[in-house]
Structure 1
Amino acid sequence: MLNISVVLVTYNRLTLLKKCLDALNKSTYNIKHVIIIDNNSTDGTSEYLEKIKSKKNIVQELNKNIGGAGGFYVGIKTFQEKTNDDLVWVMDDDTIPEKEALENFVKASNRIGEFGFLAGNVRWIDQTPAIMNVPAVHNVGWNRTAESKDDVLYPVLISASFVSLLISRTAISAVGYPIKEFFIWGDDVEYTERISARFSSYFVSQSIAIHETTRNIGTNLIEETGDRVSRYFYDIRNKIYRGRKKPIKGHVRMDVGIAVTLFQLMVRPGVKQRIRKIHVVLKGIVFSWFFHPKMEQVKKSSNGQV
């Protein structure tokens, strides 16, 4: 029987955190450890987590918010260094997995054998595919994949999000940890691209989870409004970094995409917060010139202690 940890990153969403943990407690497959990373929440999360600490529930309280990327870095490193479990199931606090989600991942892993990661079938609250969690594939049309609830495996994944993602200890040992300096956006893509470059990775249609975001939207700076606009600094900076690591064709495609976004912000009629958005893109471009984060590898002595 495979031993599996969960890594769950939370920040100021106590109601959703409780809902996620309740869903995990209903899992039809036993979860060995739940590693909860609290990104310095201020909404009572810390007090709640103090009450549920146990040998199973491993709580890491951070003294500042280091973003989703930092949280997943800490969580996956804790899994690697503090447990002997075989696999780690990664998610945000607004991920609500169906009770059979992990069991169906395990069934898929038994059929596959060695793998890098398995991506779950992530839906929004209305059961449509969650747009921001659509895996990148080599050649299979996503629409057919996303609409399928059949027992289907697609060994064509390039990247996936950190929302209901099952990662093997072997893959982590081989490629290291996520880049914590990304803060938000792109850390999951970069990390899963690293894994899929070395290990076959799969989409598991029967492992279903609901991503309870406010809206079912992806990243689109042109259409974005409100407080999220400033976050696109990280999106631009991290995309340029990722582009530098790709072959020339991929590098050019990434840079052209950013240039097109900048052009559209300047000329498209009706863009809200136009000046602010242009500033965010330019800031991301400039800061990318000085952005050279360390890709941390796993220490050979990291063999688990729990």
Structure 2
Amino acid sequence: MKNSQVKYICVVVTFNRKKLLIEAIKALLNQTLKPYKIIIYDNHSTDGTYNAVNDYFSLEFNQVIDYIYSEKNLGGSAGYHYGLKAAMKYDFDWVALSDDDAIYDVNYFERIFSFSLNHPQCQAFTGTVRINSEDGEIQYVHRKYLDNKITLSHRYSTLSDYKKDFFIYDIATFVGLVMTKQLVNQIGFPQKEFFIWNDDMEYCLRMNSFTKIINLNSAFVVHKTKLTTAAITPTWKEYYGFRNFIFILRKYGPNKFVNVYYPLLRLLRTIAGTFKPKYRGYRKYRLKLYISGYVDGVRGRLGKNNKIH
């Protein structure tokens, strides 16, 4: 198949960030290789996102842009699940996943698909994630290697990886992940009950049974996110990250002993670390996040936890 004949769909999940979403859609419409469809999954935005998008892209609305508005905020995990599910009703070759803060370089998809022609065995590709600007530093956390299949421990990509033309790795975030429709048919949709965090890890573990992931270093996507500061402020998202990791380990970890005791060890380490001076003022809240995450992860109790946020 020639590069110009590739038909792809972009799934974008959004919540209360209409300005960023408009910028993200503009970047998609300006691609040198245009998307067949852009599916927006709106997690119950209350800032007028729907009207803003409808007004700004009136010509493309309902033609190129499919807009799905959720009656409840079901979390990013459900957004990817239902957005991808909506995409599957169309005839296409590839699908891309991203949040509303991912701004693709103008030739991102042309480069990905041109490169894929020389790697027909691979069904999943990503590009290089930069922070906040086209010349921003690389955000290494989006591309990870699985170091230990028993504990599912992993490490981030490093500068040395990006000095090559490409590198092959195991776990991607949903920032610029591009995969074949065939792969989605093989592995299904992201786990919607996760709500947020580690849904990408679980999805990639399924993916690894069929394909590795290749990062094409010359394809760029800007991740417009707030940089972390020296101040330590626990976030409710940590509850979901810990809970979901425990669920993943118990589902995919091959060693039942490790599956039981490794999460407990991590919990005890977290509790001990909470008494460091940097967590002063947040200790009780952080303990609540991780103890609740541990209990719910062990019990397999997923979905949104209204007691956390």
Both proteins in one fold, TM over 0.5? yes
SS of residue paired to 1:114:
coil
Q: Which residue of 2 aligns with 1:104?
A: 111
Q: Which residue of 2 aligns with 1:195?
A: 207
CA change 1:253–1:209 in 2 (3 A) is: farther
AA partner of residue 166 (structure 1): V
5+ unaligned residues in a row in structure 2: which ranges? 148-153, 304-309
Measure how far apart 1:163 and its partner are.
Answer: 0.4
Contact 1:131 1:216 in 2 (8 A): no
Query: How big is each residue's C-alpha offset from its partner over 1:101-144, in whole Å with a ceiling of 9 and x where there is no partner?
Result: 11111112111003231122111125212244233356998223
From 45, 48, 54, give the equivalent of 2:52: 48
1:227-306 alignment, distance < 5 Å: 229-245=235-251, 246-248=253-255, 251=259, 255-265=264-274, 267-272=275-280, 273-291=282-300
Measure how far apart 1:181 and its partner are.
Answer: 0.3
Q: Report the aligned-residue RMSD.
A: 2.4
Q: Which residue of 1 aligns with 2:70?
A: 62
Contact 2:267 2:291 in 1 (8 A): no
Residue 168 (str. 1) matches residue 175 (str. 2): no
Supply the distance in 1 between the matched residues of 2:194 and 2:66 (Cα, whole angstroms).
24
From 143, 161, 173, give the equivalent of 2:158: 143
TM-score normalised over the length of structure 1: 0.85
Measure how far apart 1:223 and its partner are.
Answer: 6.2
Query: How big is each residue's C-alpha offset from its partner over 1:136-191, in whole Å with a ceiling of 9 and x where there is no partner?
Result: 3569982235543x6x2223x21100001101111111111100000000001110
Supply the distance in 1 between the matched residues of 2:15 and 2:65 (Cα, whole angstroms).
17
Supply the distance in 2 between the matched residues of 1:129 and 1:258 (Cα, whole angstroms).
31
SS of residue paired to 2:118:
helix
1:71-82 alignment, distance < 5 Å: 71-80=79-88, 82=89
Q: Which residue of 1 aligns with 2:91?
A: 84
Contact 1:116 1:195 in 2 (8 A): no
CA change 1:146–1:13 in 2 (3 A) is: farther
Supply the distance in 2 between the matched residues of 1:280 and 1:293 (Cα, whole angstroms).
14
Q: Which residue of 1 aligns with 2:150?
A: none
Supply the distance in 2 between the matched residues of 1:278 and 1:129 (Cα, whole angstroms).
32
Q: Which residue of 2 aligns with 1:298?
A: none
Supply the distance in 2 between the matched residues of 1:269 and 1:141 (Cα, whole angstroms).
27
Supply the distance in 1 between the matched residues of 2:86 and 2:106 (Cα, whole angstroms).
25
Q: Which residue of 1 aligns with 2:307?
A: none
Supply the distance in 2 between the matched residues of 1:109 and 1:85 (Cα, whole angstroms).
16
From 98, 101, 123, give the equivalent of 1:116: 123
SS of residue paired to 2:127:
strand
Contact 1:40 1:61 in 2 (8 A): yes
5+ unaligned residues in a row in structure 1: which ranges? 295-306
Q: Percent identity?
A: 25
Q: Which residue of 2 aligns with 1:17?
A: 21
Q: Which residue of 2 aligns with 1:300?
A: none
Supply the distance in 1 between the matched residues of 2:54 and 2:246 (Cα, whole angstroms).
40
SS of residue paired to 1:7:
strand
Measure how far apart 1:55 and its partner are.
Answer: 2.1
AA partner of residue 166 (structure 2): L
Contact 2:161 2:167 in 1 (8 A): no
Return 29-38 or 119-128, whichever deviates more. 119-128
TM-score normalised over the length of structure 2: 0.84
Supply the distance in 2 between the matched residues of 1:98 and 1:258 (Cα, whole angstroms).
40
Measure how far apart 1:292 and its partner are.
Answer: 5.8
Supply the distance in 2 between the matched residues of 1:184 and 1:4 (Cα, whole angstroms).
25
Query: How big is each residue's C-alpha offset from its partner over 1:68-126, in whole Å with a ceiling of 9 and x where there is no partner?
Result: 1010001111111x211111011100001110111111112111003231122111125
From 5, 8, 26, give the equivalent of 2:9: 5
